[in-house]
Amino acid sequence: MTGNGARRPRRVVVTGIGAVAPGGSTREDFWARIVSGKPATRRVTFFDASEYRSQVAAEADFDPAVAGLTPQEIRRNDRYGQFALVAGSEAVSDAGLDTGAWNGERAGVLLGSAVGATMRLEDEYVVLSDHGRRWEVDGRYAMPFMYSVFVPSAVATEVAIRHGAHGPSAVVSTGCTSGIDAIGLAAQQIEEGTVDVMLCGGSESPISPISYACFDAIRATSPRNDDPEGASRPFDADRQGFVMGEGCAVLVLEELEHARRRGAHVYCEVTGYASHANAYHMTGLHPDGVEMSR
């Protein structure tokens, strides 16, 4: 309690980290790639990008079966969902949580994704429309899990089912800030006492023809196809656009005393979070910088 009788917000700490990313399919491999200074961008290999303005991407070398997913999990989930399952399990293991013995009513999942199941949805549309030749798609050829692929909230549900987390389960989609918003909102769930543990973070797998066509149309992606490793240069005066990428990071957030009682390693404390919309431009900030200062 504070001096005026109000209850102090509960403290929130990070006790587990999981990652699937270009250059590393585990957090250790990804960190090693980061500190090596070697870029993970290359020419697109997932499809023929020869007719696109931008032909480079940050692709993850990821095999879901090798990463431990069952054939059923692979079939049910788009690539970004597979990322979340693997990264989520790594984070739980890193935190030393025994989800078979924990209180699942006090644990939840909150993930962020800007575009959801882009790859699987496009693949299915190609089949159902016979490569776009049919205006009315033929539903007989749809995969049996189209609904869960179509609904973004399914990715949080999959992670929750895998670990028996029966608390809040949701997906946040706020564009480029989806992952950090998910972490901030998850921390608030712990602060207010709704749960003691949250699995949270972000996952994306947008490297598909339709995504590239969209960003090509607005000339947002880099055309430095002759230098794939040097194409991503956001702070360079000669930058010409960003590079599409994919990957996932999941954190285990815990209430501090809950983590201390079980002797968990604490990476850091989450001491604040804010989210503001400038209502000014789709991608640009207002020049006075007020939103960032807030």
Predicted local confidence at residue 276, as pLDDT: 82
Predicted structure pTM score: 0.92
Query: Is residue 234 helix, strand or coil?
Result: coil
C-alpha distance from residue 107 to each of 130, 261, 262 (Å): 43, 16, 15
DSSP letter string, 77-133: S-HHHHHHHHHHHHHHHHHT--TTTS-GGGEEEEEE-SS-SHHHHHHHHHHHTTTTT
Predicted local confidence at residue 2, as pLDDT: 54
Closest by alpha carbon to 73, among 81, 277, 257, 243? 81
Domain boundaries, the chain: 12-293
**Residue 288 DSSP label:** T
Predicted local confidence at residue 6, as pLDDT: 61
Backbone angles phi, psi at 41, to 5 degrees: -90, 145
| C-alpha to C-alpha distance for 31 and 83, rounded to whole angstroms | 17
| C-alpha to C-alpha distance for 270 and 141, rounded to whole angstroms | 47
Q: What is the pLDDT along the chain (294 residues), one digit of tens a residue?
A: 555 656 678 999 999 999 999 999 999 999 999 999 999 999 999 999 999 999 999 999 999 999 999 999 999 999 999 999 999 999 999 999 998 889 999 999 999 999 988 899 888 888 888 888 888 888 888 888 888 888 888 999 999 999 999 999 999 999 889 999 999 999 999 999 999 999 999 999 999 999 999 999 989 999 999 999 999 999 999 889 999 999 999 999 999 999 999 999 999 999 999 888 778 877 777 888 887 787
Rounded (10°) angle between helices 79-95 and 154-163? 40
Q: Which CATH number, 3.30.460.10, 1.10.760.10, 3.40.47.10, 2.60.120.560, labels domain 12-293?
A: 3.40.47.10
Cβ-contact 190, 108 below 8 angstroms: no
Predicted local confidence at residue 52, as pLDDT: 94
Cβ-contact 149, 237 below 8 angstroms: no
- Chain centroid, CA 99 distance in Å: 22
**Other CB atoms closer than 10 Å to residue 205's CB: what's the count?**
29
